[in-house]
Amino acid sequence: MPPPSDTPNLGLFGPEEGVSEPGGQKIARVQVETAAALELDYLIPEKLADQIRLGSRVTVPMQNQRVRAVVIELPEQTVHGGRLKEICALIGARPMFTSGLLKLAHWIAGYYVVPVNRVLRTMLPQAVREKPETFLTDSHLKLAKEPPPEIFDKLHRTAPMQARILEKLRSSGGESTLSELRRELPRATAIIKPLLAAGWITRSELRVERDPFQTEDFLPSQALTLTDEQTAALAEVLKAVNHTGETAPRPLLLHGVTGSGKTEVYLQAIAEVLKQGRTALVLVPEISLTPQTIERFKARFSDKKDAVAVLHSHLSDGERHDEWFKIHEGRAEIVIGARSAIFAPLENVGIIIVDEEHEPSYKQEDAPRYHARDVAVVRGHLERCAVLLGSATPCLESFQNARAGKYQLLRMTRRTDGKSMPLIRIVDMRLERRKGTEVSAANAAILSQRLRAAITDRLEKREQTILFLNRRGYNTSLSCLACGEVVQCQDCAIPMTLHKKDNRLVCHICGARRVPPVKCPACKEPGLKYGGFGTERVEAAVREVFPLARSARVDTDTMQRKNQLRDILRDFRAQKLDILIGTQMIAKGLDFPNVTLVGVLNADTALNLPDFRAAERTFQLLVQVAGRAGRGEVKGEVFVQTHAPHSPAIQFSRHNDYEGYADQELEQRKALAYPPFSHVVLLSARGPHETQAEFTLQTLRKRLAEGLPEGAYLGHPAPAPLSRAHGQHRFQLLLSSPAIRPLCAHLRAVVKATTLPADIIVTWDVDPMHLG
């Protein structure tokens, strides 16, 4: 992770206004959107001289065609020889990028080794990039004058539909919209034409906001009384908000246990920022961006309903377009969104908040492979505003930055209202097989005896239960009893998962589907056995063991309809459901006071992956899931079912001992020179031919070895943990270094000078979150 001091020299841009050459036109330097790292100079036409500014999108002539570009500088003179062409047109009335976002784009391009144009394209949502300022409009109709009674009588006899429209306008205060009239009179568009011609009504076009929450009513909420720890944390946050030095304040890391009231600190800090006339940006992991999370912000700032903008992947293109322009036009004071919301064109930013800052989903999977948390720190440095990172289980990079003094560490160690942390019990599933059971062996392998007894107790007390398993489907494998063959996806090196409702084997990598075979594909013997279990199988087990319980499943297989997640969570909050079964979608960001029991059905899912962060992710997930229990008046209880009960990640999570876990894990990382004590770059090659993909990586390794920066480590090519995906063979090698910039500069130079085979794709990931 880059510390604030790692920000490069950002003096890359000219003044806000261009300076004319003597007797000449102003010049704009642009970054062409469709060509990598291509910066060109163009003349600004006189008619656009006062409109084109830094960050404007324009169309320019290039090679007998018009292409889109972004103005990144307004230099006094060109560095190119020859005659300059003129800009063709301006896209949008206002600049699409602030000067701060342009600087941020150049930082991202340098740090993550990607062309600037790729970053600029990522910064704009596709709906904005492809169809800028394409707003939905509606006709606003107004009664211009009241027709005399004789005219009304005549209209009732000869044109009753026209009379109905006039009566409708009169009954609704003299005005209405055409869409409202069409609900009662589908032919209203044609009917109003004679009324417009006669001058009885007037018509004007108004923009209609596609607000994803226009049908929602949010009851206003008031600021809560803070605990001593919350008060102390808020005071430090406000010190950073009110910082007036020449440099940005240090980022703050708020380490607060689950239920300690971090969100209330966020809300009160934002309220103070708004009082100063500044804006706030809140990042939430996509998986935690639930209706409940959005509702808390909308309700607290209900007096500024239109001033809260939301950006995430579940919005329609039209909704995303209008929410973005609400920000761009300065109408939004608060932006809450997922990873890409870090690029929201807010100005005068007072605070950037990154909730659940440890979440891997903040890392972009495709180029540019930026980490939104790290970009938030750099944007805060550029905007000179407060940056607040919050988590019950901070990532070790952030925690080490706090220990090293780069970040300021704030702690909240107790839950609000004196509520105690849930009691966590470890269930060794190796011993469950030896016990007699009143349920089938298959169900006993899913729900241990102690967990079944605990669920029965909660049902009797009318309390609620959450069961967590981070695997979808019914069974996770299908194997042959005769030869041991496992049915795998033809294009991916991974077993296929049975989805029983559809009676299909599904690959969770490429999405391939097939009918389950009756015989072994290898030896043709009929003896096939299903193994493992996913959330669909858990749902079936719950219904078999607890037939009277009201249960629901939340995963990407069931949440297909828009607002379906919102409806299920509302039913759960209203206690219309007893048991909620789900994946990570229910692991974070939810607050249900009546949930007193959480069951983690297989804590080992990610523990043994070939990734140095596997144990850290397991610890974080267990603590976060456990935090859903005991948020009301009744103490919570958590059962963690595992085959590795002595794993440090499981034992430290049992005691909710984050710092104890961090101490031993950081000691191991330091001994092995793993992050946060070094930076890592994962270099990958993939293609249809296994030997060619491996040879390409071997060639790159030889070239990287020449002139490798001092202190850097260069690994050897090896098959990726997922060795084949989407029909392509995958190889990777690891580079690491205490200093990331020399390593990235070396990588950029080598890749640029290497001609790669046409069907081999080489990618690199700086500070990767996964090594798969």
> Domain with 755 in it: what CATH number?
3.30.70.600
What Rg, from alpha-carbon coordinates, does the chain have? 30
**pLDDT score for 36:** 64
Q: How far apart are CA 204 and CA 717, in angstroms?
A: 66
Same domain, 269 and 334: yes
> Domain with 450 in it: what CATH number?
3.40.50.300
Same domain, 329 and 453: no
Same domain, 399 and 458: no
Instruction: Give 3-state DSSP helix, strand, coil % of the chain, rounded to 5.
Output: 35, 20, 40
* CA-to-CA separations, 149 to 78, 143, 152, 174, 539, in angstroms, rounded: 72, 15, 5, 17, 68
Residues 78, 84: contact at Cβ < 8 Å? yes
Amino acid at site 117: N
Same domain, 410 and 429: no
Neighbours of 313 (CB within 10 A): 11
The proportion of the chain whose per-residue pLDDT surpasses 90, expressed as a percent, equals 63
Lowest mean per-residue pLDDT among 77-81, 368-372, 765-769 = 77-81
**pLDDT score for 432:** 81
Closest CA to 253 of 555, 676, 607: 676
Q: Identify the domain boundary among 666, 688, 715.
A: 666
In a domain, 656, yes or no: yes
Q: Identify the domain boundary among 666, 693, 725.
A: 666
Same domain, 567 and 661: yes
In a domain, 289, yes or no: yes
Q: How many CA atoms lie within 13 A of 554 on its CB side?
A: 28
Is the pLDDT at 157 greater than 90? The verdict is no
The proportion of the chain whose per-residue pLDDT surpasses 70, expressed as a percent, equals 94
Q: What is the pTM of this model?
A: 0.87
Same domain, 275 and 404: yes
Same domain, 583 and 611: yes
Q: How far apart are CA 731 and CA 745, in angstroms?
A: 22
Convert 445-461 to b/e letters by CB count within 10 Å (16 or more is b).
bbbbbebbebbeebbee
Is the pLDDT at 35 greater than 70? The verdict is no
In a domain, 217, yes or no: no
Angle between helices 228-241 and 262-275 (to 10 degrees): 40
**pLDDT score for 214:** 66
In a domain, 752, yes or no: yes
Is the pLDDT at 7 greater than 50? The verdict is no
Same domain, 713 and 618: no
Same domain, 187 and 312: no
User: Average pLDDT of the chain?
Assistant: 88
The model's pLDDT over 252-310, given as tens digits with 9 standing for 90+, comes to 999 999 889 999 999 999 999 999 999 999 999 876 566 677 888 888 998 877 788 98
Same domain, 450 and 577: yes
Lowest mean per-residue pLDDT among 151-155, 310-314, 492-496, 687-691 = 151-155
Residues 84, 42: contact at Cβ < 8 Å? yes
Residues 44, 85: contact at Cβ < 8 Å? no
Q: What angle do CA 709, 396, 413 make, to 5 degrees?
A: 160
More confident: 658 or 430: 658
Neighbours of 279 (CB within 10 A): 25
In a domain, 219, yes or no: no
Beta-carbon contacts of 760 under 8 Å, excluding residues fewer than 6 positions away, are: 685, 686, 687, 692, 693, 696
Q: How far apart are CA 410 and CA 595, in angstroms?
A: 28
The whole domain housing 393 covers 228-417
* Number of structural domains in the chain: 5
Same domain, 412 and 428: no
The model's pLDDT over 443-502, given as tens digits with 9 standing for 90+, comes to 888 999 999 999 999 999 999 999 999 999 999 999 999 999 999 999 999 999 999 999
> Average pLDDT in the 379-386 region?
96
Phi-psi sector, 520: left (phi>0), alpha (psi -120 to 50), beta: beta
Is the pLDDT at 23 greater than 80? The verdict is no
Q: How many CA atoms lie within 13 A of 663 on its CB side?
A: 5
In a domain, 489, yes or no: no
| Token representation of residue 79 | 């560095």
Same domain, 725 and 707: yes
The model's pLDDT over 653-689, given as tens digits with 9 standing for 90+, comes to 999 999 999 999 999 999 999 999 999 999 999 999 9
> Average pLDDT in the 604-625 region?
90
In a domain, 490, yes or no: no
The model's pLDDT over 170-192, given as tens digits with 9 standing for 90+, comes to 778 778 888 888 887 888 888 88
Give the chain's count of helices (H) and strands (E).
23, 31
Amino acid at site 104: L
In a domain, 688, yes or no: yes
Is the pLDDT at 12 greater than 60? The verdict is no
